[in-house]
Amino acid sequence: MAEDRTQYWVGFNLVKGIGPVRLKGLIDYFGDIEAAWNAGYPDLERSGLGSREINAFQKIRSSDLLERTWHYIQANNITVLTWQDEKYPRLLLEIDHPPPVLYLRGDFRPEDDPAVSIVGTRRMTEYGKQVATELTQTLAHNGITIVSGLARGIDAVAHKTALECQGRTLAVFGCGIDIVYPPEHRKLAEEITERGALISDYPPGTKPEASNFPARNRIISGVSRAVVVIEAGSRSGALITANFAAEQGRDVFAVPGYIYSPASKGTNNLIQQGAIPMLDPQDVLEILNLDMIDQHRSARVELPADATEAKLMELLGREPLHVDEISSEINLPIENVTASLVVMELKGMIKQVGSMHYVAVHEPAGNYELEENK
């Protein structure tokens, strides 16, 4: 049925009840996405799916919904990324149960790692607007991509300021990528596609229902190195993003505020619970070691600088190796190996694919000699 196997991923994404866990189970059981899509009822049952999920799946498979959705995706230049795509955001792939499918308008680039999320209340104060603007300016001028949710208030300020600074920004939707919410941000959304991306894990046409936004917030934190909450009421959705960030091992910053201000109740509580107080925009750069990002990005691909790098380049190829396996293979302490891997990744010699798994950017070309020995 499908000329492009990506269609099968979109097809499963259309089925309510088959999320990341169930889809991974299906792929593990059948061996690949196409075999899972074409499986019959008995095999689907044996794979662990319940009757409700099987019936929902068969209803989608027997309809023309996938065909219509796929045609719409192609006609509207929507990019589809799956777990198996190299361009799928690396940090997001490392969280528990990442979304199997992402829909994009614009593009996600290597320079979008690192990224920092800036989130907060829709009912911002002048203080919140000022902090959001200054923080975004600092990060954008240091080459850091800004992530937010295109909502009114703090989100919109973060996106707009990043664009004004000629920086990159990502907006994560809680609806289909073809539905801009709120509608008054349509022009902003179009501008973001020129210097970043609109991202959603919901199929095109999905309405912006309240139940969709917690999952949206999980992606906002998932693609970021850190989350900064500028202002948030005690029941703000920004606090959900902060909670996801903490679960994902991301740094959580909160801007302290006037204790009697409703807009600062959430951020002050976050600090009380252990979030890092953001007293100056430089705090984010320094704590995350991001203040040298421009220099990191300009580091050219070069020959190994020492014996450890040489050994690592001899070992690494296109097959991902876990850091523990790498340490064992070259017989060096894991802390030495990890330090070298970080430097080599900044140089562009290797890259991390998945949690602590590494590959060479280029195939090893034989024995390396150090510059000093030439």
For the chain, the domains span 1-75, 106-291, 299-373
Task: Say how far apart CA 121 and CA 115 lie, in whole Å.
Answer: 20
Ranking 119-133, 171-185, 303-317, 329-343 by mean pLDDT, the lowest is 303-317
Task: Say how far apart CA 22 and CA 28 lie, in whole Å.
Answer: 10
The pTM for the full model equals 0.76
CATH 3.40.50.300 fits 106-291, yes or no: no
pLDDT reported for residue 86: 87
Average pLDDT over residues 178-198: 95
**pLDDT tens digits along 83-127:** 989 899 989 998 999 999 999 999 998 889 889 999 999 999 999
CATH 1.10.3720.10 fits 299-373, yes or no: no
In sign, the C-alpha dihedral spanning 130, 118, 278, 268 is positive
Q: Are 207 and 175 in contact (CB under 8 A)?
A: yes
Task: Say how far apart CA 139 and CA 162 lie, in whole Å.
Answer: 8
Task: Say how far apart CA 250 and CA 41 lie, in whole Å.
Answer: 41
The pLDDT-based confidence of 291 (bands split at 50, 70, 90) is: low
